[in-house]
């Protein structure tokens, strides 16, 4: 099985992890217009490449960021948000 390295628990099988999608800055919901908000909520940069994604090691509920190539599935780096 594919292995992912949790910044707290070390290398673990990928089935222990879930992803919550791309790391992207949230526009201010009070001031953003509908188009900006729709773009933030729905649209996704899907061109393959190294992407920053939110992942969670579910048994320990550790949320962290993974840099992963979305074409080769190579996990380049994982780190906690605080370390970013």
Sign of CA dihedral 60, 66, 70, 73: negative
Judged by CB, which is closer to another protein: 1, or 83?
A: 1
CB-based burial label for 70 (10 Å; 0-12, 13-18, 19+): middle
Per-residue contact track with another protein, 27 to 66, x per CB under 8 A?
A: -------xx--xx--xxx-xxx--x-x-------------
SS3 83: helix
Write out the two tokens for 24. 């992207």
Least CB distance from residue 49 to another protein, whole Å?
9
Q: Give residues in contact with another protein (CB under 8 A).
A: 1-2, 15, 18-19, 21, 34-35, 38-39, 42-44, 46-48, 51, 53, 70-73
């Amino acid at each position: 099985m594919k292995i992912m390295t949790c910044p707290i628990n070390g290398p673990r099988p990928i089935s222990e992890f879930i992803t919550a999608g791309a790391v992207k800055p949230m526009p201010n919901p009070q001031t953003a217009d509908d188009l900006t908000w729709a773009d933030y909520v729905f649209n996704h940069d899907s061109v393959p490449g190294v992407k920053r994604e939110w992942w969670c090691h579910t048994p320990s509920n550790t949320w962290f960021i993974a840099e992963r190539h979305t074409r080769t599935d190579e996990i380049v780096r994982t780190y906690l948000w605080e370390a970013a």
